[in-house]
Structure 1
Amino acid sequence: MKLKLGILDQSPTTMGGNAASALKNSINLAVWAEEIGFHSIMYSEHHGVEAYGSSSPELLAAIVLSKTNRIKVGTAGIMMRNYSAYKIAEWSKMLSTLYPERFILGLGKAPGGLKDAVMALNNHKPVVLSNMETKLEEIIQFIREEEGVYDGLIAQPTHVQHIPEIMWLGSGMTSAREAAKHGVGYSFAAFMNSENGKENTDAYLREFDATQYFPKPSLQVAVALSVADNIEEARRNAYGMAYQFLQSRQLVSPDAVLSPEVVEQRVLGTQDEEEFFTVLNRIMIETPQSVDQKLHQVAERYNTDDLLILCNMYREEDRINTYKSIIKNNK
């Protein structure tokens, strides 16, 4: 089975680099990814951190759609608590009209940043956390031009021929069941929580309501991966990404991707050492000879052919080599 491979691009900045370089790398990566045969590329949303260059995945997606012809491009995801359902529906319909069947609207419930950034995004008003599913319902109503909470209000452009594919991002059972209930796709973040992953994705596939947004389920699984010529090199290349994961777990604003040497200086012999290697062990560490088999094992476990690959590395050439290895060996 040939997999539908996608890239989860967080536009990572690196130690000594800047956001401008990270964004340039993202655009170059997308153009190259289409040429080499990737199925999709998705952009994340982060605010108030130097680790990631892009705070506006919808803008980056629009730019990349204009520079490519085939590859599906989307958001992974829009952090819904920071925006109105109406505005999300408007620009989603616009991108779907301009680029039919190529735009994917990935939506997430996470804050997208630490407290100060989230407060600033919401005009310094307390964020209501309990209405995310309601907001999803409103987005669907606006996209499908159904009667909803604002009867008679349209979201331009209207009468669209192609509505955007919607992916509901999550790592738990609640998100899986919400996606199934509303008939939208489900993107499971296995790199964040793989312990009960199959239970969650099985529930999504089993409970999917084909009478809602889309007639059949669309399950995507996102994994973190590092590939190099030997396991030790692949493991060290993943140090910077693992350290970012560790900082996020500790609710600390992640640093730009650090070199393996700097990461070792920061964690070895400290109270963070054990937790760092626990996080690192959750990243798939492979060689070009082993990666295809391991990705197929992931696909078989979750009963999907759609895998989204996250790879943040200190050297951009190492990130490119990881993506090159997985597409070259996808059979």
Structure 2
Amino acid sequence: MKLKLGILDQSPATMGGSAASALKNSLNLALMAEETGFHSIMYSEHHGVEAYASSSPELLAAIVLSKTNRIKIGTAGIMMRNYSAYKIAEWTKMLSTLYPERFILGLGKAPGGLKDAVMALNNHKPVILSNMETKLEEIIQFIKDKEGIYDGLIAQPTHVQHIPEIMWLGSGMTSAREAARHGVGYSFAAFMNSENGKENTDTYLKEFDSTQYFPRPSLQVAVAVSVADKIEDARRNAYGMAYQFLQSRQLASPNAVFSPEAVEQKILGTKEEEEFFTTLNRIIIETPQSVDQRLDEISQKYHTDDLLILCNMYREEDRINTYKSIIKNNR
């Protein structure tokens, strides 16, 4: 089965590299994705960390939209706690007007950075965590030109001809039910929580309210993948990404992507070695000949043809080769 494949681009910085190089790689990757037939590319938001270069996915999305013609571009996602619903709705409607049916608004509840970065984004005021769903409701109201908490307030441009897709990002049952309740898409981060994923996504599909934002559910599953001609190389190429996942699980600020050799020096013989290899084993590690079957299995498991592929590697050519192998074998 031919899948609807997308790229989750975190604009990964690498050991010894720069944020400028990482952003340039993101632009080149987008052009490759457009040329080779990917359905979409989504940009993440991170603040105050060395690992990822993109702090403004909406800006990166706008630039890439201007440089491409077909591929859908989106955010995965805007970290809602850091911005007003009104401002998110405004630039979303601008992009949806300038690039109709090509922009996807992905929204997330995570902080997007450690405590100091989040405080700085919020003018050093405590963040209210209980209003994320309310913000989603307000964004929808502004996009649809409905009256909300501010009577008569409009978000320009009004009367958007094609309202944008909205994807609610998450890895737990709460986010699945929220997406279903508001009739928006659900992007499930399987690379973060594959253990209970089926239960969460089934709940989204079962409880989806077709009377709300969109009439049909839109389920996307995000997975981490590494592909190389030899399975041993694919596994080693994934070391840097797995180490970043490990750091995130430990609530530490992730480093730039390390080389496999540097990861081995940090991990082997330490108390973190077992947890690191457990994390590594959650990544889909395949050859060009086997990756399409593995992705088909994931598609069938979650009852969706929409897969978002994450691939952070020390060598950019290995990352590009992974994506090219995946799209080439998507029959």
TM-score relative to the length of structure 1: 1.00
Q: What are the superposed Cα offsets for residues 57-77 of structure 1, whole Å, 9 maximum, x if unpaired?
A: 000000000000000000000
Q: Which amino acid aligns with 2:120?
A: A
Q: What are the superposed Cα offsets for residues 149-183 of structure 1, whole Å, 9 maximum, x if unpaired?
A: 11110000001101110000000010001000000
CA distance in 2, matches of 1:81, 1:206: 28
CA distance in 1, matches of 2:195, 2:150: 41
Q: What are the superposed Cα offsets for residues 179-227 of structure 1, whole Å, 9 maximum, x if unpaired?
A: 0000000000000001110100000001101110001000000000000
CA distance in 1, matches of 2:160, 2:138: 17
- Structure 1 consecutive aligned stretches of length 4 or more whose deviation exceeds 2 Å: none
Q: What are the superposed Cα offsets for residues 51-99 of structure 1, whole Å, 9 maximum, x if unpaired?
A: 1011000000000000000000000000000000000000000000000
* 1:23 equivalenced with 2:20 (yes/no): no
CA distance in 2, matches of 1:103, 1:151: 28
Q: Which amino acid aligns with 1:228?
A: A
Aligned residue for 2:67? 67
1:88-167 correspondence to structure 2 within 5 Å: 88-167=88-167
CA distance in 2, matches of 1:151, 1:2: 47
Q: What are the superposed Cα offsets for residues 9-63 of structure 1, whole Å, 9 maximum, x if unpaired?
A: 0000001100000000000100110000000000000000111011000000000
1:1-331 correspondence to structure 2 within 5 Å: 1-331=1-331
The alpha-carbon deviation at position 327 of structure 1 amounts to 0.3
Q: CA RMSD in A?
A: 0.4
Tell me the matched-pair count.
331
The alpha-carbon deviation at position 231 of structure 1 amounts to 1.0
Q: Which amino acid aligns with 1:203?
A: T
Q: Which amino acid aligns with 2:107?
A: L
Secondary structure of the 2:123 match is: coil
What are structure 2's unaligned runs of at least 5 residues? none
Q: What are the superposed Cα offsets for residues 226-285 of structure 1, whole Å, 9 maximum, x if unpaired?
A: 000111110000000000001111111111000000000000000110110111010000
What are structure 1's unaligned runs of at least 5 residues? none
TM-score relative to the length of structure 2: 1.00
CA distance in 2, matches of 1:108, 1:59: 17
Q: Which amino acid aligns with 1:3?
A: L
CA distance in 2, matches of 1:32, 1:227: 17
CA distance in 2, matches of 1:276, 1:294: 22
The alpha-carbon deviation at position 109 of structure 1 amounts to 0.2
Secondary structure of the 2:215 match is: coil
CA distance in 1, matches of 2:145, 2:225: 40
Q: Identity, % of aligned pairs?
A: 88
CA distance in 2, matches of 1:189, 1:261: 28
Q: Which amino acid aligns with 1:210?
A: S
